[in-house]
Amino acid sequence: MLNGLQAVLYRDINIFMRKAKKQIIASSISPLLYLIAFGWGFGSHVQVGDIAYTSFLIPGLITMASLNQSFGINGEINISRFYFHTFDEYLIAPVSTYEIVLGEVIYGMMRGFLGAFIVFMYALIFNVKINFSLLFIIAIVLHTFMFSSLGVALAMFVRDHASQQSLNTFVITPMIFLCGTFFPIEKLPVIFKAIIHLLPLTYSTSLIRSTLTGTHLYYWHFLMLIVFCAVFFTLAIYSLKKVEV
């Protein structure tokens, strides 16, 4: 059953395990820096609504870390597709496109969970109160599925390192800074708000934050995430079908 999916995960997980220690240490640095700079350095006396800024920040960091990890598979796929040609093995194998995409997406989600887990550890260490709930799990599953799918889709279009860099500079980084990750978007001018409401990260940040801190939950944001998931996953399948026979 689902041999193609098993094959993709077998490879990805084996390779990940080989460099897990390095990866985990590397992914632990940036959330810590954000916590020190924004949490301690400037946020210790700031409130956002009813909650302390650090409690506001932690869900944002969870969103950011898991996004970086999930979307990050785009780089890995790119290297294996265009540089080592290992991806060709999938394309010539008797497996369907769905299995390959799903395999990569699940791997991206696993990395996303790891990113989230690291920030959770910091929350424990820094004694920041957050609630863990089923709704949070649904939110993070959708969030990581969405950005892994986007990662796979873009890996098929983006050929070289330079375009990948510009993808990060022009899409991912602005999104991380603008979609409510570090500050509430309510304070932004209307035009900005309108743009921000077109971006998928806005909805995952909102859901992850509400479910973790217990602030008002907009259930329709789940719907938005599901729509984005469907669109990005379809795009990923389509982009792979375009190269495959």
Partner 1 sequence: MQANIAVDVKDIVKTYGTKVAVDGLTFSFYEGQFVGLLGPNGAGKTTTINMLTGLMKPTSGSVLYFSRDFLKNSIEAKSYIGVVPQANNLDRDLTAYENLYQHGLLYKIPKKTVKTKISKLLDFAGLVEYRDKLVKTFSGGTKRRLVIIRALLHEPKILFLDEPTVGLDPQIRRDIWDFIIKINQSHKTTILMTTHYIEEAERLCERVMIINNGKLIADGSPDDLKSTVGAYVLEIYTMERIEELFFDDRQSAVDTLKRCTKPCKVREATLEDVFLKITGRRIDA
User: At closest approach, how far in Å is the CB of 184 from partner 1?
Assistant: 43
- For partner 1, the closer CB: 99 or 142: 99
If the CB atoms of residues 39 and 108 are measured against partner 1, the closer one turns out to be 108
* Interface residues toward partner 1, by CB under 8 A: 3-4, 6-7, 10-11, 14-15, 18-19, 80, 84-86, 88-96, 243-245
Three-state secondary structure call for residue 52: strand
DSSP assignment of 176-225 equals: HHHSSSSS-GGGS-HHHHHHHTTSHHHHHHHHHHHHHH-----THHHHHH
Residue closer to partner 1 by CB (options 91, 167) is: 91
Nearest residue (CB) to partner 1, 104 versus 200: 104
Q: Closest separation between CB of residue 68 and partner 1, Å? A: 21
Query: CB-wise, 140 or 155, nearer to partner 1?
Result: 155
- Cβ at position 85, least distance to partner 1 in Å: 4
**Cα–Cα distance between 77 and 151 in angstroms, integer?**
9
Output DSSP code: residue 1: -
**Least Cβ distance, residue 236 to partner 1 (angstroms):** 19
* Min dist. Cβ of residue 242 to partner 1 (A): 9
Residue 160 per-residue DSSP state: S
Query: What angle (nearest 5°) sits at the alpha carbon of residue 217, between those of residues 133 and 168?
Result: 85
Decide: 152 and 103 in contact? Cβ < 8 Å: no
